[in-house]
Amino acid sequence: MAWQYELDALTAAIRAAGKEALRIAADGFETLKKADHSPVTSADLAVNRILQAQLQSAFPEDGWLSEESPDDLDRLQKARVWVVDPIDGTKAFIKGEPEFCISVALIEHGQPIVAAVFNPSVNELYTAIRGGGLYLNSESVSASTIHDNQKPVVALSPWEQQRGRFPLLDGMVISRPMRSIAWALALTAGGRIQGLATLEPENEWDVAAGTLLIEESGGGVCDGSGRALVFNQTKPRYLGTIAISARCPEPLRQKLTLLTQAGIDRAE
C-alpha cells in the first residue's frame, strides 16, 4: 500500500517518543510557561526532538510544523509536511492523567495522508493511511453502534459548557471533559465517543492526525463554521472544530451540524 513505509517509520518514532514521555513522567520533569502562558514540559521538548530526529532523518525533503519547533515557512514550498503535536494535553500530563497523547500527521496537497495518535499511558496507538481504514494497535477497527436507549457521549470543554455555548446538546448527550482534542478525535474515530465540539481556536497540530483517523473510519470533521479543514496553511489555525463519528445517531448529527451555523457568533 502507498505510504506504508512512512507509516512504519512514524510508528517506530512515535512509540519511541511515547516510551520517553513515560520515563520522564516517572523520573520527574521541568515545567515552563510559553509566551502565550500555556505550559510546556521537558517531556514535550524531548518528544519533539525524538520525532524530528527520526522523521527528518528518514524523510529529509519533507517540511516540518510542530507546536514545539520554530515555524519555518519554507514548509509552504514543500510537497509534504509533517504536522506534529509532541504532547497534546500537557496539563493532563502534568497532573498524571492518562488523557495526553502524541499526534503526528503527514500532509500532502493540504490533506493528511498518514496519521498516528498514541496514548502511551494506555498503550493505544491509532493509525491510518488515506484509503486504508482505521487501525488500533495494528488491528482494523470500526466505529461501534449506539443503541437507542443509550445517550451518546460527546467530548466538550467544561469551560465552554460553563459559558453556555452548547445549549442544543443539553439533556441529549453525556459530556466527556476534553483534556486533549487529539485524543478525543481518536476516540471519536474508534466509536468510543460519538463526537466532539469546541468553538475555541485550534491549531493544525491539534487536529491533523485525528482528522484522517475520523475520515478513515467514515466520520467527518470541520471547523467551527462548517468548512472542511485544509492543512499546511500560512496561519495554521482554525476557529473551532466539530467532529462526528461514523455511527453518530442522526438526531445528534443534526444538532452538531447546527452548531456550525452559529459557531462563529457563539465563540465571540
Provide the pLDDT for residue 216: 96
Contacts with 248 (C-beta within 8 Å, 6 or more apart), sequence order:
146, 152, 194, 195, 219, 256
Residue pLDDT, tens place only, 188-200:
999 999 999 999 9
pLDDT at 122: 98
Q: What b/e readout covers 139-168, taking b as 16+ CB neighbours within 10 angstroms?
A: eebebeebeeeeebbbbbbeebbeeebbeb
pLDDT at 261: 74
Give, as one character, the DSSP assignment of residue 156.
E
Give the CA dihedral 59, 15, 5, 49, nearest 10 degrees. 0
pLDDT value at residue 144? 61
Contact 233, 111 (CB under 8 A): no
Q: What is the DSSP letter of 234?
A: S
Distance CA 78, CA 3 (A): 17
* Angstrom distance (rounded) from CA 94 to CA 88: 11
CA distances to 57, 164, 250 from 143, in Å: 35, 29, 15
CATH 3.20.20.80 fits 153-267, yes or no: no
Stated pTM of the model: 0.95
4-140: CATH, from 3.30.465.10, 2.120.10.30, 3.30.540.10, 2.40.50.140: 3.30.540.10
Nearest to 254 by CA among 265, 264, 246, 244: 244
Which letter does DSSP use for residue 131 in this model?
T
Do residues 199 and 239 make contact, with C-beta atoms less than 8 angstroms apart?
A: yes
Tell me, what's the pLDDT at 246?
A: 93
- The confidence score (pLDDT) of residue 14 equals 98
For residues 172 and 152, give the distance between their C-alpha atoms in angstroms, rounded to a whole number.
8
What pLDDT digit, counting tens, does each position of 98-110 carry? 999 999 999 999 9
- Name the stretches of the chain with pLDDT < 50: 264, 266-268
User: For the chain, what are the domain ranges?
Assistant: 4-140, 153-267
Residue with cell 487529539: 182
Residues 6+ apart with CB under 8 A from 20: 43, 46, 47, 50
